[in-house]
Copies of this chain bind each other. A is one copy, B any other.
Amino acid sequence: MEELKDTQNEPDFRNLAIDRVGVKNLRFPVDVREKSGGTQSTVATVSLAVDLPHHYKGTHMSRFVEVLNSHGPVLDVKSLPRIPSELQARLDAQRSHIEFRFPFFLSKAAPVTGAQGLVDYDVVFEIDSKEDVQDFILTVCVPVTTLCPCSKAISARGAHNQRGQVTFSVRFNEPVWIEDLIALVEKCASCELYSLLKRPDEKEVTERAYDHPVFVEDLVRNVAALSDEQENITWYRVEAENFESIHNHNAYAVIEKAGA
């Protein structure tokens, strides 16, 4: 094979280091570790990047895919940190950033009949790495029911409610489970969601939501308060967004724990 010019390896004289360079929006099948002991198969959308010193013209994009291929399919909080280390080694970089976003499924029993059904959640694993120091953020996106306390208080009957979405990100000092973060959020809403509800279940979730009204403000405060009690959660950011049933725009609220 002839020797092909390595343009990326040429020197660069603009004197500008690059914070992140890499690949984005790459879909990849993965197996995610479950709290119950097994794994579940899903599909991740992946970004991988490293920094680039000012004196190099370009990075080598194919090596990102090689590192991803060599990691194997199983994603978990313990093995994932090997990817940024490997990227830094293979690409001669000091920093790296990786992100895996994927749907995660929980099997839930309906509250009265016990009928089983899968609920889907988006989850993000993100690591920002500088030399040997890694910063892992785990995010779960949890759909919930929210019922408006104001609407309930002022109305003679009924109360507007809607699907909302809570985006809950944490840093932690010992491994956390996706399942536990989802459960924490679901306790804080007017009601959790199910995929399969028979009539007795629908009665139950309707009344439960009516009995537990929350504003987006309440929802993020509830999540923040529970997180403050968890010793393994060292930082959090929680955003709630309501797809208001009475408006064509959304209501949202955010609390971020200071001192990240």
Which residues in A have some Cβ–Cβ distance to B below 8 Å? 1-2, 4-8, 12, 14, 16-29, 40-43, 47, 49, 52, 57-59, 61-62, 65-66, 69, 103, 105, 112, 115-120, 143, 145-147, 149-163, 191, 193-200, 202-203, 205-207, 209-211, 215-218, 220-222, 224-225, 241, 243-256
Contacts of A4 in B (CB 8 A): 153-154, 199-200, 203
Do residues A221 and B12 form an inter-chain contact, with CB atoms below 8 A?
A: yes
Q: Given known contacts A7-B150, A59-B217, what 10 new A-B pairs fall within 8 Å (CB)?
A: A23-B250, A28-B118, A29-B118, A62-B115, A65-B195, A146-B245, A154-B203, A157-B206, A158-B206, A193-B247
Do residues A8 and B43 form an inter-chain contact, with CB atoms below 8 A?
A: no
Do residues B196 and A62 form an inter-chain contact, with CB atoms below 8 A?
A: yes
Q: Which of B151, B205, B241 has a CB less than 8 Å from the CB of A202? A: B151
Contacts of A205 in B (CB 8 A): 160, 246
Contacts of A8 in B (CB 8 A): 150, 215
Nearest B residue to A22 via CB reads: B252
Q: Which of B17, B22, B207 has a CB less than 8 Å from the CB of A156? A: B207
| Least distance between A247 CB and chain B CB atoms (Å) | 6
Contacts of A105 in B (CB 8 A): 27, 29
Do residues B217 and A252 form an inter-chain contact, with CB atoms below 8 A?
A: no
| Least distance between A103 CB and chain B CB atoms (Å) | 5
Q: Which of B26, B40, B153, B162 has a CB less than 8 Å from the CB of A249? A: B26
Contacts of A256 in B (CB 8 A): 19
Contacts of A248 in B (CB 8 A): 26-27, 119-120, 143, 163, 193, 195
Contacts of A220 in B (CB 8 A): 18
Do residues A253 and B21 form an inter-chain contact, with CB atoms below 8 A?
A: yes
Do residues B69 and A246 form an inter-chain contact, with CB atoms below 8 A?
A: no
Nearest B residue to A97 via CB reads: B254
Do residues A18 and B217 form an inter-chain contact, with CB atoms below 8 A?
A: yes
Q: How far is the CA of A253 from the CA of B24 in the complex (A)?
A: 10
| Least distance between A199 CB and chain B CB atoms (Å) | 4
